Structure 1
Amino acid sequence: MSETTRNVQPVIANLGKESAGELVPSRYAVRVGDVDVVLISDGMLPLPTSTMSTNVNEADRNDWFDSRFLQRDMFDWALNIALVRSGDRLILIDSGVGDGFEYFTRAGRSVMRLESAGIDLAAITDIVITHMHMDHVGGLNVDGVKARLRPDVRIHVSAAEVEFWKAPDFSKTVMPETVPPALRKAAAKFVQLYGENIVPFHQTVQVATGVSARVTGGHTPGHSVVDIASNGEKLTFVGDAIFEVGFDNPEWQNGFEHEPEVAVDVRIALLNEAADTGALLAAAHIAFPSIGHIAKNGTGFRFVPVPWDY
């Protein structure tokens, strides 16, 4: 080992430690007209690759993962949330996975990263939950979080989503066996903690000037996306409607989809919408910061990430 290598190693080793800050940026801000949007990484979820393509054969799935230089059995699934400021309203979109899941030790960073960005939880006026899976409501379930939120915080969830989780149907999902019980538990705890704050909506709701949510269904019966539009510019946060494998293969079904056939139609419609309008798109499970445009590419689509603005 050279002297140069020995001198560099301690510096590299310390880069990711708290005293030196995070090794990789965990938040990225853009402006959509007059609205500020910040994408925040909650971390990474290790999941079986089989969950990304439950209706195709293993060889086709392997080909796609091989083409991305990814392992064939397990892969790291990005998990992102968003924070939006419109006028005097500060809106959180989803909350990450939270804690208490021993198999998700590299996620659950949302609250910490909001704090590191200088965000006081008490400043949040509204929360939009795209759907009530544990990696979207779990951050709100963490001990102590509710006490730090304002008592009158409005939590916008579609009425269909709230109703679904009273007796959720997993008959069309293909998940690891440990996941459904965890999903039920997280959804029930969320409703128990925040029932008085939930503001259910049916088809659409305007949360703030230029910020609205609309029900798409598919991933879950009440799954919603969030549209941010201002001064002729638009960004849609699509939650779990679109995954990275879905650009090339939008017809591939996901094991976490409760209505897989509907989810395919929703995915294609959202991709066509973004491609036709040129609007920006961001998502919960596209590699951070997940912001880009959609271009049509034969029978599929192509994700075009925006250049990072330093």
Structure 2
Amino acid sequence: MTLHLDSFTANRAVALQTQSEELVPSRYALRLGDIDVMVISDGVLPLPTQTMSTNADPADRAAWFKEMYLGPDAFDWALNVLVVRSGEQVILVDAGLGGQFPGFPRAGQFPKRLAAAGVDLADITDIVITHMHMDHIGGLLVDSVKSRLRHDVRIHVTAAEVNFWSTPDFTSTDMPAPVPDVLRSTANAFIDHYESKLHIFEDECQVAPGVVAKLTGGHTPGHCVVYVNSGGERLTFAGDALFPVAFDHPDWHNGFEHDPAKSVEVRVRMLKEAAASGELFVATHLAFPSVGRVAINGAAFRWIPAIWDY
């Protein structure tokens, strides 16, 4: 594995000199074999600590967040998207929150940060949607994004996900009261606008050479993850299969999970696989740049952040 200023940004260096750079890094590039990967931060949004651990004892929850210097009542939830270049294809994995939701001024940064990273929306050939929650598809509903995407862009999403949002069931979730209606309306708006561009798959889809999307279910019935394989190296983008608390408490439920029990099964399986393989691991809501590895830690797990190469 090589971590470097890759082809996404190297050929735009002169252009970037004329742009106003943010003081805090918002993109991180690496290469696996012949495939370039970049993690881009869409920003952060505040959420109640209870949302991260709806089945936990309140005292245990409070202790964990205190140990992590977070909370006690709310914390900042990171939002990450992925851009992958495989051959002639440029693949966007998820698209962040967008700017249409009041109350989240620090999220919805993906469009300007994608541009600052030297990636033109018109260059994107494929988009993978891990699932249709608003913080994964909202960025595609921004007018300036919709107008710049290619007319032939392919949007890959599972059949189970599309079917679920026709009549979504929130009975097993534990979300803040206004959220289900917003999730439903955002998913409907996404389908209405992009239905003709959807490439729907059942269990697995090869999006490009070395880039495979695979159904996991759990978080939503059609949730999928993305595997990047090249040159004997592998990176997994886990979407919302896990959250920061998952390493210490993989059995804690997240309020946004539509099938909490299956979500636990999915994340434990993925964490065990990552620990066994030593692969790189990235997830939507792990602190940026969300690149690291997983190790077994007794009955739980341990997150090992990658050393930045800069």
Q: Tell me the secondary structure at the aligned position of residue 37 of structure 1.
A: strand
Give the Å deviation of 1:105: 1.1
> What is the 5 A alignment of 1:150-189?
150-189=150-189
Map of 2:269 onto structure 1: 269
Give the Å deviation of 1:160: 0.3
Q: Tell me the secondary structure at the aligned position of residue 42 of structure 1.
A: strand
Map of 2:91 onto structure 1: 91
Give the Å deviation of 1:20: 5.0
Give the Å deviation of 1:45: 0.9
Q: Tell me the secondary structure at the aligned position of residue 253 of structure 1.
A: coil
Q: Tell me the secondary structure at the aligned position of residue 189 of structure 1.
A: helix
Check the 8 A contact 2:19/2:116 in 1, yes or no: no
**Whole-angstrom distance in 1 between the partners of 2:72 and 2:256:** 18
Q: Tell me the secondary structure at the aligned position of residue 263 of structure 2.
A: helix
**Whole-angstrom distance in 1 between the partners of 2:253 and 2:32:** 31
Q: Tell me the secondary structure at the aligned position of residue 196 of structure 2.
A: coil
2:287 counterpart of 1:287:
yes
Q: 1:35-77: CA deviations, max 9, x gaps?
A: 1000000000100000011111100000100001112100000
Map of 1:13 onto structure 2: none
Map of 2:15 onto structure 1: none
**Whole-angstrom distance in 2 between the partners of 1:303 and 1:103:** 31
> What is the 5 A alignment of 1:290-309?
290-309=290-309
Q: 1:63-103: CA deviations, max 9, x gaps?
A: 10000111210000000000000000000000000012112
**Whole-angstrom distance in 1 between the partners of 2:303 and 2:43:** 21
Q: 1:111 is aligned with what amino acid?
A: P
**Whole-angstrom distance in 2 between the partners of 1:131 and 1:119:** 23
Q: Which runs of 5+ in 1 are unaligned?
A: 1-17
**Whole-angstrom distance in 1 between the partners of 2:32 and 2:135:** 26
Q: Tell me the secondary structure at the aligned position of residue 196 of structure 1.
A: helix
Check the 8 A contact 2:47/2:74 in 1, yes or no: yes
Give the Å deviation of 1:19: 7.2
**Whole-angstrom distance in 1 between the partners of 2:20 and 2:212:** 38
2:257 counterpart of 1:257:
yes
Check the 8 A contact 2:50/2:73 in 1, yes or no: yes
**Whole-angstrom distance in 1 between the partners of 2:290 and 2:144:** 29
> What is the 5 A alignment of 1:50-61?
50-61=50-61
TM-score (structure 1 length as normaliser)? 0.93
Map of 2:4 onto structure 1: none
Q: 1:115 is aligned with what amino acid?
A: A
2:89 counterpart of 1:79:
no
2:209 counterpart of 1:206:
no
Map of 2:49 onto structure 1: 49
**Whole-angstrom distance in 2 between the partners of 1:21 and 1:114:** 12
Q: 1:223 is aligned with what amino acid?
A: H
**Whole-angstrom distance in 2 between the partners of 1:299 and 1:103:** 38
Q: 1:158-213: CA deviations, max 9, x gaps?
A: 00000000010000000001111110111011101100000000000000000000
**Whole-angstrom distance in 2 between the partners of 1:217 and 1:56:** 22
> What is the 5 A alignment of 1:182-261?
182-261=182-261
Q: Tell me the secondary structure at the aligned position of residue 114 of structure 1.
A: helix
Q: Which runs of 5+ in 2 are unaligned?
A: 1-17
**Whole-angstrom distance in 1 between the partners of 2:35 and 2:188:** 33
Map of 2:122 onto structure 1: 122
Give the Å deviation of 1:104: 1.2
Check the 8 A contact 2:250/2:267 in 1, yes or no: yes
Q: 1:104-123: CA deviations, max 9, x gaps?
A: 11100001111111211111
**Whole-angstrom distance in 2 between the partners of 1:309 and 1:280:** 15
**Whole-angstrom distance in 2 between the partners of 1:67 and 1:171:** 32
Q: 1:207-256: CA deviations, max 9, x gaps?
A: 00000000000000000000000011000000000111000000000000
Question: Alignment length, in residue pairs?
Answer: 293
Map of 1:136 onto structure 2: 136
